[in-house]
Amino acid sequence: MERRMLGELEVSAIGLGCMSMTQIYGTPDEGEAIATIHRALEHGIDLIDTSDAYGGGQNEELLGRALKDRRDRAVIASKFGNIRLPDGRPGAKGDPEFARQSCEASLKRLGVETIDLYYVHRIDPTVPIEDTVGALADLKREGKIRHIGLSEASPETLKRAHATHPIAALQTEYSLWTRDAEAELLPLCAELGVGYVAYSPLGRGFLTGTITGQDSLEEGDRRRQHPRFAEENIAQNIKLLTTLNDLASKEGCTPAQLALAWVASRGKTIVPLPGTKQRKWLDENVAALSVSPSAETLEALDAAFQPGVAAGTRYPAGQMASLGV
């Protein structure tokens, strides 16, 4: 397994996102989810990503059960601060006391003494990022976390955070159909020596080619609420897959593998973080690391998936407001 650096943290060149292992994108099977985590470790994948926001902490508990006798083989990444406000709207909470409380609760759910990479999941605009990161630096000195990360932060917030304490990784959405990070965030990460973790590198499953319309999604699947999967947009977005499918066939791989290989090709400090709850898809994702697309294929992908090409925003309006703070 190739290794890549997130700041001073060395991890596998591809990670495993665990969000779908609890009730978010359809109905998961816990036994298969745990088997998927174990298979990831067998492949040499050690960056295993969760959050206290996934399933109200149930995702962390599942990961804790999966890693109970395998803790030394995993780099556990978790997050805090992505909350629901009393009226149900998405929000963020990043005050030092809440950061400490959240970390302590996550440690208990995970059943570990230390979280390897602890992210601020969403940036609280009412709390100076220096205060939030300062609290995490205290937790690091106490041995409760090893490295600090930010998720969906603006360039200015990343600069201020990094000046307070070195940030190991920035995590934002990045894929063929979500290329916003290329404008400022990726160059800034390279300048600061911050690693970049690309979540949803398969476009929440869209770039696998297995989603042919809203009927492909279960009734409770959260993607039904996302504009890019809405009836008025999904038909237009499906047209984008023609080029991806053709190029994947030319390269002798699946569309998902080509999409992942494209992300991995964007820089040696970029780590794709595809999420899956099944071993068969995990195996396919790992095989993407062996795909070396030709320069012509990469150019064709860049041309077909130019920034802004997807119809619809990547989150509903309420959640979009909490990004890039």
Of the candidates 204, 233, 222, 245, the residue with the CA atom closest to the CA atom of residue 23 = 222
Taking the alpha carbons at both ends of the chain, their separation in whole angstroms is 35
Q: Give the list of residues 6+ apart from residue 147 with CB closer than 8 angstroms, or none.
A: 6, 7, 8, 9, 116, 117, 118, 140, 168, 169
Give dist(CA 253, CA 14) in Å, integer: 17
Residue 303 C-alpha from the chain's centroid: 25
Query: Among residues 54, 118, 174, 196, which one is catalytic?
Result: 54
Give dist(CA 309, CA 325) in Å, integer: 23
Of the candidates 20, 4, 13, 68, the residue with the CA atom closest to the CA atom of residue 43 = 13
Q: What are phi and psi of 221, to 5 degrees?
A: -70, 125
Task: List the alpha helices (DSSP H) in the chain.
Answer: 30-43, 58-66, 96-110, 129-141, 155-164, 185-192, 231-238, 241-251, 255-264, 279-287, 295-304, 317-320
Fill in the amino acid letter for 206.
Answer: F
Tell me if residue 174 is catalytic: no
Under 8 Å between Cβ of 283 and 255: no
Under 8 Å between Cβ of 209 and 183: no
> Which residues does residue 78 pair with via DSSP β-bridges, in sequence order?
118
Under 8 Å between Cβ of 268 and 277: no
Q: Which letter does DSSP use for residue 253 in this model? A: S
Give dist(CA 289, CA 173) in Å, integer: 19
Q: Which residues are catalytic?
A: 54
